[in-house]
Structure 1
Amino acid sequence: MTISMVLCNPSTQPMINVPCNGPKLINAKHKEKVVLVMGATGTGKSRLSIDLGTCFPSEIINSDKIQAYQGLEIATNKVTKEEQRGVPHHLLGIHNPYTEFTANDFCDMASVATESIIGREQLPIIVGGSNSYVEALVERFGSRYEWLILWLDVSMPILHSYVSKRVEDMVEKGMVNELRPFFSPNGDYSKGIRKAIGVPEFDMFFRSEEETTWDDERTKQRLFDEAIREVKLNTCRLACKQFERIQRLRNVKRWKMQRVCASRVFEMHGNDDEAADEAWRKMVAEPSARLVAQFLYNEAINNVSGGISVPGSCSVSCRVVKC
């Protein structure tokens, strides 16, 4: 028996023909299997997890602590229902934005979701950028499962350029108006969704907006531009911190990761989007799906359409730079 998996477009040729011994993903003689997708902010983790979710009978568990809160869909870059492409998502936009969503909360809810997904004979795919929460989950419950960890990596100079452009896109989509209801002169930016990048950075802009009549357009524009610069800078700083934590998990805690380098894909963004999408398929989606298929079915995958780049073989150096 073979299971044919197709990414995105059902009319395309099967990406991989996977030999297996039966329809179930889980072999009762072994530990249940879980896929974990890691990477810095902006590297395409959600996109990859949904690509995989359309290939395999699976459900996605969000591990981004800020995306777990209700609200700020644009500022936190939550995947929309349309972008989810029918793949069930858990722990996404479910928590009260004004109360803390702790690592313990995440571990408890993610564990319940994982067991529920496995009970439906589906593959749990955990994805998000809150690596401290993922680390806590693996330390508490990791021994129950067999893990495949995919590390989606993009070189920091390329990623910084991309996330800066993404901030500008968010502004065009209405991020500022989305942030405004969460402003409070006495707001605590250390709790709840107010920790999200964008809320504290726009504090001075919104504060001055309430206190003045905006007769001085230059002041208004200056405060706006400063807020945008801070959002971009803090997003880049977050990416650096996430990269460093992944390196610690890999090199100090000895987590076994499969590195998939997407730098060349991101270099194409904005120049030739069609070519970038094709590069994503060949350099990121197909190799990742092949790794998942091998992980699930313990068989060599020989029939693969299109080019395959081995994770870690990207010629563009993926390194962190000082923000």
Structure 2
Amino acid sequence: MGFWGIETPEEYGGANMPPTTQAIIKLELSKSFVPFKFGGWVHNILFSCNEDQKQRYLIPAVQGEKAVCFALSEASSASDATNMQTTAKKDGNDWIINGEKIWITGGHSADFAIVFAANDKSKGAKGGITAFLVDREMGWKSELIDTMVSNHEPATLIFDNVRVPEENVIGEVGYGFKYAMQFINHNRGYVIPAYSIGAAERMLSMAVEYANTRTSFGKPLAERQAIQWMIANSATDIEAAKGFLFRSAALAEKEGSWKTGNDSNQFRTLSSMAKLYNANMVNRVVDDVMQIFGGMGVTKELPIERWYRNVRVYRIFEGSDEMLRRTIAKNLLNEKIKVGEIE
């Protein structure tokens, strides 16, 4: 289709498209269940690697020779990532990693993982968490997790005295959490919000067509006020969601944070709002669409039940609704941003 590395810099063979363009592409492709994956795409964290690491990990990942996963979440601290229990202890020129990561997308098929571990629990995110490049052949194991979501295959990663060389530390020891947020905030800002809108538009289009052709008591469903209100509410919700998506993408583009990873308080707040609103929006839309279709909506002859299952996780991963509200509220109450001043 002509898409290759839409987020990847040109120097690595990518298209280097800005966030607004990326958002449009992701929105359109999410109207289908085709398992489309962008060739040449890698986690933006890898662009922060040093030159040696780029040769060993970034370039093979861009070329499709190695698969990578992002290993942050843990069972006891999924939304409180700074309280992670996975540890990294220095041993000569190596680090020894112990612990478990859970809900890791692509973890069962990854060749290497970007692993976040506590090098000093007392310091938390401010000097106590380090990011590592850890090859599977270094000794970690994975177990696939079975979920109700058809297009999401998370895994548990197990680290039992896994030895990682010093040269596999990303950036500065103790300051790896900023790379995690670099990845998460951009997914919140214009990836999940775009997926949400694409799916919602496709489902609403199906509902409009069905309401115009399905009859009940001698009249089309479209003439029933209850149906009209569901369609009107869903359409309004979708248009409002587009505002969040493109404002967030435009701010990332303006700040250059999609390249540098230096997310501002404004972007962190707006991306949290975008993900919170859009993820809830698509869940409201799929619920109304299923209601309009009635019994047919829950059958596997139609894609609605699958969307119903798939989009539910949008309200959980990359920051739950509750954590996003906490972020938004804290930034306002601590006056890191002011009411009405988000671009």
Bigger relative contact order (CA 8 A; separation at least 6):
1
In the superposition, the TM-score normalised over structure 1's length comes to 0.24
In the superposition, the TM-score normalised over structure 2's length comes to 0.23
Which has a greater percent of strand? 2
